[in-house]
Structure 1
Amino acid sequence: IEVRQQFPESGYVEMCPKEIFETTVACIAGACKELKTKHGIEPENIRAVGITNQRETTIIWDRNTREPLYNAIVWLDSRTHDLANKYMKKVDESLNVSSSAAKRSCQNHFKSKTGLPIHPYFTALKLRWLLDNVPAAQKSLSEGTLMVGTVDTWLIWNLLGEYITDVTNASRTLLMDLQERQWSPEMCEFFDIPIGILPRIRSSAEIYGYMKDGPLKGTPLAGCLGDQQSSLLGHGCLQAGEAKNTYGTGTFMLCNTGKKALVSGYGLLTTIAYQFGLDSPAYYALEGSGSIGGNVVRFLRDNLKFFEKTEEIEQLAASVENTEDVYFVPCFAGLYTPQWDPTARGIICGLTQSATKAHIALAALKAVAFQTVEMLEAIQKDMVDIKIASLRADGGMTQNKLFNKLQANSMGIPMECSKMAEISGWGAALAAGIGIGEIDYQSLGEILRQRRPHSMDTYEPVSEENERNREFEQWLEAVRRSKGWAHA
């Protein structure tokens, strides 16, 4: 069930917290009904529940009234651009730097601690904006009843009555120490966020509590991961160097780095991949988070009216042999990995009088593919001792066979597309099984290995390396021209 997004102002992206919860409740009821009618499984026979959620998206509510105090600020929201500049200036003043390279180091000043740059993408800035601009939040804070969190915290509070988050979601806030896996007093002080209002951090697989109501009342909730980490698990990327890419609204590539948290020198994020139990080791990942994904297809459909249905882009793009050197950089909300430039804006380069909407449609698909190549190359530079042999993939865009071929060709390695539509949900289910002790880490690998050959469609690259490199370099030139377009 789709949750509606709202765009009240330029750069603002919001969701209704109540709708998020009500949609979740409806999905639970629908899933239980389908399990019973189609498979004969009664709700009381379901052993455990797992949650996977949109990360970074920030919600505030009052403990006593249980009411949200503002709409959820979605991860893609860019309203905190000026606030990010303010905090980078704060670092700047403490370091007394002046060069452009040093300015960039201000953005990355806390990467060794948090794995993240100072950027509107992350929760800390969204929460700071809410505390500064929402009177109800200020009142609730003064009365000691303010509750804050990402979507997992909001759902778990409503489903269980527990005030917690898991370590993967906490690692996306700019407030957690990656090594300690606890809220960082230094980061909370820097952003002036009271550490006491934050939820307790738990592992990704343990019993957090029991469902209070509905058809699953009394069932343990025992798994929780951010959507991209859950996808990584669902794909079976359990070894260092195994990577997956999810094509949703944006594009999210994660590569398992094992028990070592690598700090990227090439614009990637360092994040928690998973931790199965508080006494178990944490596994880490390098992440490329791209703002270019399914949103560009919706832009061509809804804004430019190129087609009526999303899937029609495949036929339109396939009607031309190439883009005629048209390049599209659809960075509507700035560039994310590895550029991290919130001032970049969408740009189409190379238009001639012979260009048609088909060329632009093909250029749009290639833009998503090129962004993936950019992230993949950054991962390879950070992980010099490991060669990524293939990329596992999921998400709505992988239903487009033309896109899958373009992606494999642009990378020069095979692309393995999951046949499972909701692989993040599969990852959450596996975590729940681990949380109640039905699955251990050793048997998890075997479970995933057994199902992989039957669950993937593989696309092999057939492109020439010289042409592949030429197109990618030309796209990078278009990226350079998109930067610095918006000014604070």
Structure 2
Amino acid sequence: MRIAAIDQGTTSTRCLLVDDAGQCALAGARRHARYHPQAGWVEHDPEELLRNIIALLESAGPVDAIAICNQGESCLAWDAQTRQPLSPVLVWQDARTATALAQMGEAAELRSKRISGLPLDPYFSASKLAWMIRNIPAVAAALEQGRLRLGTTDAFFLDRLCGTFATDWATASRTGLLDIESGQWSADLCALHGVPIHCLPEIRAVDAGFGAIQGIPVKVSIVDQQAALYGHQCRQRGDGKITFGTGAFFLALTGAQGLKPADLLPTIAWKKQDEAACYAIEGGVYDAGAALEWARRIGLYSALEELDQFEGPTAISRGIVFVPALSGLAAPYWDRHAAPLFIGMNHATERRDMIRAVLEGIAMLTAKLVATAALSLPLGTRISIDGGLSQSRYFARFLASACQKTISVPSMYELSALGLASLCGLDISRMAGAITTHEPDRLVSQHDHAVFAEAIHRAGAWRSQLVARG
């Protein structure tokens, strides 16, 4: 069997060809634009995303099946009859609904957590979908005419390409509209946000089949982070992985038993046909690769090789700290108003010190996710990582020390694609390649953690101080 695994991400769409002979090859990748109409707004053109998927499938050549993973919380509205988009894609990073959610109050927050497990945060799809209905006339008109469809990007792709208006359990669990225990849309949460439940897609098992594209079956559809979790071959309670893409996402399996930790997120890892749902807990860093891209754009570095060319003491041990909160802070802080900041610079500080601080700041935020998860779930001694940052030896070593966990880095780092292939039934055990491990050492001290915690406090306090000054 030869599978085209489509990974539709925040900055690009990639297609990998995976077969049952153990071969995995990149068929192509296409970047797409991100638009920022206002501060805190992040959008994609849905037609551009769709064109890229179609072009990559065409370049893949003959395949026996297709599997697709999506961005998760990114969502849009479209017309049920023409299947044309009525809105841009509002990306998971988009924070335009933060003020409206804050005004909903504590009772609404508790209700959301009780049913979906998720806080009221603009990260999730629910408030974005409600915003479209209130603010885009074409969306409101389609609702009045009974022609409105709402959903995450996967449902749009499947509807346009296959004529199947559906999503999977894992992706649905990222919307803030799912009853996480029943696996059904919650009428209560839909009413809370003002999202018409009849406009949402059918929810299916990840391997239930989603139609066909030009006669080729789409066997699997799932959110990208859960695909990567499966690709890392996490199967036991406490197994965890971290994917470093635009953001950084830590997931650890809790098994058939869902958990609702205070500061992390419960999520559905996957739901297969004829099996009970498998649950996980998740925490994210909004800006990982995005922070590095920003650092490159302002001239802190120019080539990836520079991310390993460090000598001497760490930046944080010398008091140079960066908090990568360009989109605010996610778990466990949940502060969209936090500010990115550098502290500790002096006349001797160089570009190399600053980019080193960026890497260390991403690692320290990620380590906080691991430490928070360990309060609710016994974690294994090893965490597997993938994505662009995983290729920096310095970063992986620093992360191992900050987490006090063995960090494993597969040489094949397209783990979302491998997860898709595995969910289609292929044996991926030979495909991960060589595994590089980084053992925890004393590179990061308890004092360093305390210094970073103080920097986080300053990042969160800036707005209240600004308001107090008038």
TM-score by length of 1: 0.86
* Structural mapping, 1:78-97, within 5 Å: 78-87=95-104, 89=105, 92=106, 95=107
In the TM superposition, residue 450 of structure 1 has moved relative to its aligned partner by 5.6
2:457 aligned with 1:472: no
Q: 1:301 aligns with which of 283, 287, 296?
A: 296
Q: 1:457 aligns with which of 421, 432, 436?
A: 436
1:405-451 deviation line (CA, Å, top 9, x unaligned): 11112222211112223210111122233xxxxx6xxxxxxx45565
1:126-157 deviation line (CA, Å, top 9, x unaligned): 10111111001011111111111111111111
Q: 1:7 aligns with which of 36, 55, 58?
A: 36
In the TM superposition, residue 320 of structure 1 has moved relative to its aligned partner by 5.2
Which residue does the alignment assign to 2:191?
Answer: 189
Supply the distance in 2 between the matched residues of 1:54 and 1:18 (Cα, whole angstroms): 16
SS at match of 2:455: helix
More helix by percentage: 1
In the TM superposition, residue 13 of structure 1 has moved relative to its aligned partner by 0.6
SS at match of 1:207: coil
Supply the distance in 1 between the matched residues of 2:357 and 2:165 (Cα, whole angstroms): 45
8 Å contact kept, 1:380–1:388: no
Which residue does the alignment assign to 1:19?
Answer: 48
Q: 1:174 aligns with which of 173, 176, 183?
A: 176
Q: 1:364 aligns with which of 352, 358, 361?
A: 358
Q: 1:133 aligns with which of 128, 132, 135?
A: 135
Q: 1:419 aligns with which of 411, 419, 423?
A: 411
Which residue does the alignment assign to 1:150?
Answer: 152
Supply the distance in 1 between the matched residues of 2:351 and 2:175 (Cα, whole angstroms): 39
In the TM superposition, residue 83 of structure 1 has moved relative to its aligned partner by 1.4
2:383 aligned with 1:381: no
Supply the distance in 2 between the matched residues of 1:292 and 1:48 (Cα, whole angstroms): 33
1:213-257 deviation line (CA, Å, top 9, x unaligned): xxxx21211111100000000000011000000001111000000
Q: 1:162 aligns with which of 159, 164, 175?
A: 164
8 Å contact kept, 1:292–1:371: no
8 Å contact kept, 1:292–1:367: no
SS at match of 1:475: helix
Which residue does the alignment assign to 1:214?
Answer: none
SS at match of 2:210: strand
Q: 1:343 aligns with which of 337, 348, 369?
A: 337
Supply the distance in 2 between the matched residues of 1:124 and 1:49 (Cα, whole angstroms): 28
Which residue does the alignment assign to 2:94?
Answer: 77
Alignment-mate amino acid for residue 164 of structure 2: E
8 Å contact kept, 2:301–2:352: no
* Structural mapping, 1:170-319, within 5 Å: 170-211=172-213, 217-265=214-262, 267-277=263-273, 279-302=274-297, 304-315=298-309, 318-319=310-311
Supply the distance in 1 between the matched residues of 2:445 and 2:269 (Cα, whole angstroms): 31
Which residue does the alignment assign to 1:103?
Answer: none
In the TM superposition, residue 373 of structure 1 has moved relative to its aligned partner by 0.9
Q: 2:64 aligns with which of 41, 47, 58?
A: 47
Alignment-mate amino acid for residue 301 of structure 1: R
Alignment-mate amino acid for residue 175 of structure 2: T
8 Å contact kept, 2:244–2:389: yes
8 Å contact kept, 1:341–1:484: no
SS at match of 1:382: coil
Unaligned runs of 5+ in 2: 1-29
Supply the distance in 2 between the matched residues of 1:320 and 1:295 (Cα, whole angstroms): 26
Q: Structure 1 470/192 Cα, relative in aligned 2: closer, same or farther at 3 Å?
A: same
Alignment-mate amino acid for residue 423 of structure 1: L
Supply the distance in 1 between the matched residues of 2:72 and 2:282 (Cα, whole angstroms): 13
8 Å contact kept, 2:252–2:281: yes
In the TM superposition, residue 473 of structure 1 has moved relative to its aligned partner by 1.6
SS at match of 1:144: coil
Alignment-mate amino acid for residue 245 of structure 2: G
Supply the distance in 1 between the matched residues of 2:352 and 2:160 (Cα, whole angstroms): 47
Unaligned runs of 5+ in 1: 33-42, 96-105, 212-216, 434-438, 440-446
More strand by percentage: 2
8 Å contact kept, 1:298–1:310: no
In the TM superposition, residue 311 of structure 1 has moved relative to its aligned partner by 4.3
Supply the distance in 2 between the matched residues of 1:309 and 1:19 (Cα, whole angstroms): 28
Supply the distance in 2 between the matched residues of 1:9 and 1:244 (Cα, whole angstroms): 34
State the identity as a percent.
31
Supply the distance in 2 between the matched residues of 1:244 and 1:271 (Cα, whole angstroms): 14
Supply the distance in 2 between the matched residues of 1:12 and 1:313 (Cα, whole angstroms): 29
Supply the distance in 1 between the matched residues of 2:153 and 2:195 (Cα, whole angstroms): 19
Supply the distance in 1 between the matched residues of 2:269 and 2:247 (Cα, whole angstroms): 19
Which residue does the alignment assign to 1:483?
Answer: 460
Alignment-mate amino acid for residue 330 of structure 1: P
